[in-house]
A and B are shown apart, each in its own frame.
Chain A
Amino acid sequence: MHDVAAHDDSKGQYFWVWGALLILTAMEVALAYNQVFQPVAMLQVLLGLSIVKSALIVAYFMHLKFESALMRWMLVISVIGLFAIMYFFFFPDAGRILRLGVR
């Protein structure tokens, strides 16, 4: 198959990614269980860590790092756009309701 990359066939790589994912999960649980941050900051930190975990899964397990550049960039740009909309337009609305209150 011409689309199978030869350089990523190492099993070791997948075990490293798995280990990194477990460590990131442990970090998330430790931060949240000890309630190190307040809700809004906690959400930002957890989302940040989740994005890193998702990037690892998509790049290595779903093989996107080794796919054609067009597919990779289309997906990455859509996801970044999605997060930009969420972070810059949606979450300020959620935070504003706390300051303005509800009648």
Chain B
Amino acid sequence: MAEATLQHDAAAVHGLAGEYEAPLFGAYSKKVGMWLFLASDSLTFGALLFAFSYNRISNPAWPTPFGKESIANATLMTGCLLSSSLTMVLGVLAARRGDKTWTLNWLLATMAFGTAFLVLHGLEWTRLIDHGMTPFGNPWEPGVPQFGGTFFTLTGMHMLHVTIGVIYLGVVALRKKFLPILAVIWIGGYFLIPSNNIFHYGIHALGIGLIVSALILFLKPKIYDAQDIEVSGLYWHFVDLVWMFIMPLVYLMSTKI
């Protein structure tokens, strides 16, 4: 492998007839790039999870408000994400064998599961906020104000990642056809969600996603191939992976007897 890098002539220096240099990690650069991004993003979530765990252990009076309904909801959400990972990987397989129809189907299924997760999580947030939980306090243990802050930061950060993931998959699956769909969901969501709900304002994240997607689709139009779908799959599995840690730490460590 080393000798490939030693031989180069004038043409190769200008990139015209370069020697083949095998990739360091044995994978194409897009995949390595995504792994590097996921490594950095896992540090972000790692820091948040560390902080949450520290708070959880060092506070014996930690609120335990999650009863049967909340735990059932969280388990359903976990089931949605795990199933979305399965459909994602089936989509990658379909893309590898060149099956456009099933690639699209599996990607849409993944997006559907992801959206279900977001809706369920949004309903959970609304329920908790209606009970009086804020980032600065909670009605169950006033002496432990960190409960709200850590909960909303961790789950909010994750929810944002899932939202970005769904938009990413939409761009890869549907390309420019996704833009009007996203616009309808954004505007429709804004008008349908009542204004006393935080998501009435939070849904503008979809507007930002719309602008970014439009920029990417118009400035760099391309047919997304199996490699692009595999790379988007890596991001999606990462989002699922983070939830594997968030669910036990946040929900299961705070169950109400």
Look across to chain B and name the residue whose beta carbon is closest to the beta carbon of A92. B57
B154 at interface (Cβ–Cβ under 8 A)? no
Taking the closest CB of chain A, its distance from the CB of B227, in whole angstroms, is: 8
Q: Is the CB of A32 within 8 A of B26?
A: no
B96 at interface (Cβ–Cβ under 8 A)? yes
With A75-B35, A90-B50, A98-B60 known as contacts, the answer to whether A14 contacts B79 (CB < 8 A) is no
Taking the closest CB of chain B, its distance from the CB of A57, in whole angstroms, is: 5
With A43-B57, A50-B245 known as contacts, the answer to whether A11 contacts B75 (CB < 8 A) is no
| B78 contact set on A, CB distance < 8 A | 25
Q: Which residues of chain A from 18 to 58 have a CB within 8 Å of any chain B CB?
A: 18, 21-22, 25-26, 28-29, 31-33, 35, 39-40, 42-43, 46-47, 49-50, 53-54, 57-58
Number of interface residues of B (CB under 8 A): 51
Q: Which residues of chain B from 72 to 97 have a CB within 8 Å of any chain A CB?
A: 75, 78-79, 82-83, 85-86, 88-90, 93, 96
Q: Is the CB of A68 within 8 A of B252?
A: no
Q: Is the CB of A54 within 8 A of B244?
A: yes
If over half of B's interface residues share one DSSP class (helix, strand or loop), that class is named, otherwise mixed; here it is helix
| A3 contact set on B, CB distance < 8 A | 26-28, 31
Q: Roughly how many angstroms separate A75 CA and B25 CA in the complex, as a whole number?
A: 11
Other-chain residue from B50, B53, B75 in contact with A43 (beta carbon distance below 8 A): B53
Q: Which residues of chain B from 173 to 232 have a CB within 8 Å of any chain A CB?
A: 226-227, 230
B255 at interface (Cβ–Cβ under 8 A)? yes
Which has the most chain B C-beta neighbours within 10 Å: A4, A21, A35, A95? A21
| B245 contact set on A, CB distance < 8 A | 47, 50, 54
Query: B102-135 toward A: CB 8 Å interface, digit per residue (1/0)?
Result: 0000000000000000000000000000000000
Q: Is the CB of B35 within 8 A of A82?
A: no
Q: Is the CB of B57 within 8 A of A95?
A: yes
Q: Is the CB of A70 within 8 A of B82?
A: no
Which has the most chain A C-beta neighbours within 10 Å: B28, B57, B227, B245? B57
Other-chain residue from B50, B237, B247 in contact with A62 (beta carbon distance below 8 A): B237
With A46-B248, A93-B54 known as contacts, the answer to whether A61 contacts B237 (CB < 8 A) is yes
Residues of chain B touching chain A, judged by Cβ–Cβ distance below 8 Å, are 24-28, 31-32, 35, 39, 46, 50, 53-54, 56-58, 60, 62, 68, 71, 75, 78-79, 82-83, 85-86, 88-90, 93, 96, 226-227, 230, 233-234, 237-238, 240-241, 244-245, 247-249, 251-253, 255, 257
Besides A9-B93, A33-B68, 17 other CB < 8 A contacts? A1-B28, A14-B86, A22-B82, A28-B248, A28-B252, A29-B71, A32-B255, A33-B252, A35-B255, A39-B56, A42-B252, A46-B248, A53-B244, A61-B86, A93-B54, A95-B57, A95-B58
Question: Could you write out 9 A-B pairs with CB less than 8 Å apart?
Answer: A18-B83, A26-B75, A35-B257, A39-B62, A39-B253, A53-B244, A71-B32, A91-B53, A91-B57
